[in-house]
A and B are shown apart, each in its own frame.
Chain A
Amino acid sequence: MGQNVFAPWTDPAAEPLIRFQNVTKRFGSFVAIDDLTLDIYEQEFFALLGPSGCGKTTLMRMLAGFENASEGRIELAGQDIDGIPPNKRAVNMMFQSYALFPHLSVWDNIAFGLRRDRMAKAEIDARVDEMLKLTRLESFARRKPHQISGGQRQRVALARSLAKAPKLLLLDEPLGALDKKLRQETQFELMDIQEKTGTTFVIVTHDQEEAMTVASRVAVMDHGRIIQVATPEEIYEGPNSVYVADFIGDVNLIEGRATASGEDGYSIEWAAGQPPLSAQSKRPFTDAQRCHLAVRPEKVAISHDRPEADNAVEGRVLDIAYLGNISTYHVELPSGLVIKAQAANTRRIARRDITWEDTVWLSWSASAAVMLAD
């Protein structure tokens, strides 16, 4: 990697923009955020991922100033933000529910924050028009929120939060209601804005592909805790737990017992009467320690004949899911375990040679699998 790759989190001297220190948030006796510690750096595009109810919105609301931490300390640019009201923070938030003002037109909704800053009228006009263009809402400027579609409303909410060009922008599922094409375009627009303005983005999304596309780092949350924070590649290629591996993308999980063999190498007993699988791991495992082998479907090759590979297992094709550019083969092993393998559809359907009930070989290299402790 080059010298000027953007990775402030690897630099111990870098000052984070946002710092959560052992933050806990309780609603009554319910713990929504559980002893969370996290640094987010300036100009990051930070994605929060996690199942519904895991505390993503709560985390953002604490940054925006609508909730106070029950315990711990939150710093923004080195300053403790406890007790600073929302209107005194250089933070804007796009609400999951959009929260558009129903009595104002689209235009006035977007201009709302600018007017509070006592900006000159001509400047406001220019800025609002710019935002309308960016979100392709020019022709809806005079309508009220109830006169436009759900996706258009989402774009108004996005435009309104972007308009003030804040230092920190919190986006709570900003693109969920958009169709795929518009979503991709908006994602690139966001990345573009981010590059131009240097704004720090924290974004909540349910779409991992989106997180992978836009984020500098991704945090996977569960029950108010952060399970792993890493770059998209690291999260995908080197998940630190079964939970993360399973949550991000598709994965085959094979349970077994590890025995060291060679440097960083392990052989894994996974089914009676089957040769052990070989895998590599930087994380040490003790002998006979229970472990899970995580293999991504696209790293599993499928063939009729037994291939030369570190790991090869035989099975029967149970199902084929045709996804256009690729197909996913569900293969049942003699042990009953079903393994998914993905192959690119380089040929037309009629000429494909693997079909239902075929006996096939699945294979992957020792370095393709990730070993995860329980």
Chain B
Amino acid sequence: MTRLSWFNTVSLTLGFAFLYIPMIILIIYSFNESRLVTVWAGFSTKWYGELIRNEAMLDAAWVTLRVAVMSSTIATVLGTMAAYVLVREGRFFGRTLFSGMIYAPLVMPEVITGLSLLLLFIGLGLDRGILTIVLAHTTFSMCFVSVVVSSRLVTFDRSLEEAALDLGCSPFEAFRLVTLPIIAPAVISGWLLAFTLSLDDLVIASFTSGPSATTLPIKIFSAVRLGVSPEINALSTIMIAIVTVGVITASLVSKRNALRRQKDEQAAVQNA
């Protein structure tokens, strides 16, 4: 290992401090005994206990999770299909219009998207609840998925699909057995993107949620307006923990795959 120069050490420290000090402060204060956020009064886990007893908060968390899973899954299916057709099917009537239109929600202010969805739901007579939030999140995250997937598809070698057809696949089998496995990393990133977008969306959810279903960001936001409570800190710490575990698991899985691949290669070399 080489030693870092003082300049590199300083920039590294500053950069990481900038990123993580707010979160560290939040975590520390979630273990604060005192109700006052800014005064340290000794270590305690009592706010976590309070949180578990706070059913409104737990409800909101459960709603958020369900909405995120459902909307990101639907958005991934629809977004992948849209990307596939737009990239693959060459020129069909209205293609340019479609591909332009699919990107429009990316630049549309969220307030407008939320408002227009609200008007639509009222017009349709849909009661606002989980269903409407899922529909709204699907609508705006689908275009993100489609952007991610189509950027992978344009570099995808068409002859692979032709080879699959040639070897007896129906077009759907060719997609399932050849195209999808190869573009899977892009599809998964698209899903993750849609999932996180849905998790932390506040604006669109506040237009489309109803009294029967409130998401966590809305709950936190309205709670904070009445003053930051250590309970919110505890909740945020749990979310940070979940995300950290997720990231570490993902990197461990990919590392294990890389190791296995390496072992395969070695085995192949030894056999040769």
Interface residues of A (CB under 8 A from B): 64-66, 85-87, 91-93, 95, 97, 99-103, 112-113, 116-117, 139-140, 142-143, 147, 160, 164
**Which A residues are in CB contact (< 8 Å) with B170?**
87
The distance in angstroms between the C-alpha atoms of A310 and B196, with both chains bound, is 89
The distance in angstroms between the C-alpha atoms of A92 and B167, with both chains bound, is 7
| Residues A87 and B166 in contact, CB atoms below 8 Å apart | yes
* Minimal beta-carbon separation of A29 from chain B (angstroms): 16
**Which B residues are in CB contact (< 8 Å) with A65?**
165-166
Q: Residue A93 contacts which of B166, B168, B265, B271 (CB distance < 8 angstroms)?
A: B166
Q: Residue B167 contacts which of A97, A116, A142, A147 (CB distance < 8 angstroms)?
A: A116
Tell yes or no: B267 within 8 A of A by CB. yes
Of B156-164, B210-218, B233-241, the segment with at least 4 beta carbons within 8 Å of chain A is B156-164
Tell yes or no: B246 within 8 A of A by CB. no
Q: How many residues of B contact A (CB 8 A)?
A: 24
Tell yes or no: B169 within 8 A of A by CB. yes
Tell yes or no: B122 within 8 A of A by CB. no
Q: Residue B159 contacts which of A91, A95, A116 (CB distance < 8 angstroms)?
A: A95
The distance in angstroms between the C-alpha atoms of A108 and B170, with both chains bound, is 18
| Residues A97 and B159 in contact, CB atoms below 8 Å apart | yes
The distance in angstroms between the C-alpha atoms of A113 and B173, with both chains bound, is 12
Among B164, B167, B169, B265, which residue has the most Cβ atoms of chain A within 10 A?
A: B167
| Residues B166 and A142 in contact, CB atoms below 8 Å apart | no
Tell yes or no: B107 within 8 A of A by CB. no
Query: Interface code B249-272, partner A: CB below 8 Å = 1, 0 otherwise?
Result: 000000000000000110110011
| Residues A85 and B165 in contact, CB atoms below 8 Å apart | yes
**Which B residues are in CB contact (< 8 Å) with A91?**
166
| Residues A101 and B163 in contact, CB atoms below 8 Å apart | yes
Tell yes or no: B102 within 8 A of A by CB. no
**Which A residues are in CB contact (< 8 Å) with B160?**
99, 101-102
* Minimal beta-carbon separation of B257 from chain A (angstroms): 12
Interface residues of B (CB under 8 A from A): 157, 159-160, 162-171, 173, 177-178, 181-182, 264-265, 267-268, 271-272
Sorted from nearest, which 5 A-B pairs have the closest CB atoms?
Answer: A113-B167, A116-B168, A99-B163, A99-B159, A86-B165
* Minimal beta-carbon separation of B120 from chain A (angstroms): 40
User: 23 A-B residue contacts at CB 8 Å?
Assistant: A65-B165, A65-B166, A85-B171, A91-B166, A92-B166, A93-B163, A93-B166, A95-B163, A97-B159, A99-B159, A99-B160, A101-B163, A101-B164, A102-B182, A103-B182, A112-B167, A113-B167, A140-B268, A142-B264, A143-B264, A143-B268, A147-B265, A160-B163
Q: Residue B271 contacts which of A66, A139, A160 (CB distance < 8 angstroms)?
A: A139
The distance in angstroms between the C-alpha atoms of A140 and B178, with both chains bound, is 21
The distance in angstroms between the C-alpha atoms of A87 and B271, with both chains bound, is 35
The distance in angstroms between the C-alpha atoms of A113 and B182, with both chains bound, is 18
CB-based nearest A residue for B159:
A99
| Residues B162 and A86 in contact, CB atoms below 8 Å apart | yes
* Minimal beta-carbon separation of A172 from chain B (angstroms): 11
The distance in angstroms between the C-alpha atoms of A238 and B168, with both chains bound, is 42
| Residues B163 and A87 in contact, CB atoms below 8 Å apart | no
**Which B residues are in CB contact (< 8 Å) with A139?**
268, 271-272
**Which A residues are in CB contact (< 8 Å) with B182?**
101-103
| Residues B159 and A64 in contact, CB atoms below 8 Å apart | no
The distance in angstroms between the C-alpha atoms of A26 and B265, with both chains bound, is 46
**Which A residues are in CB contact (< 8 Å) with B159?**
95, 97, 99
* Minimal beta-carbon separation of A123 from chain B (angstroms): 15
Q: Residue A116 contacts which of B171, B173, B181 (CB distance < 8 angstroms)?
A: B173
Q: Residue A87 contacts which of B157, B169, B177, B268 (CB distance < 8 angstroms)?
A: B169
| Residues B165 and A142 in contact, CB atoms below 8 Å apart | no
| Residues A164 and B272 in contact, CB atoms below 8 Å apart | no
Instruction: Beyond the given A95-B159, A101-B178, A102-B160, please list 12 additional residue pairs across the A-B interface where CB-CB is below 8 A.
Output: A64-B162, A85-B165, A85-B171, A86-B162, A86-B165, A87-B168, A101-B164, A103-B178, A112-B167, A113-B168, A139-B272, A143-B268
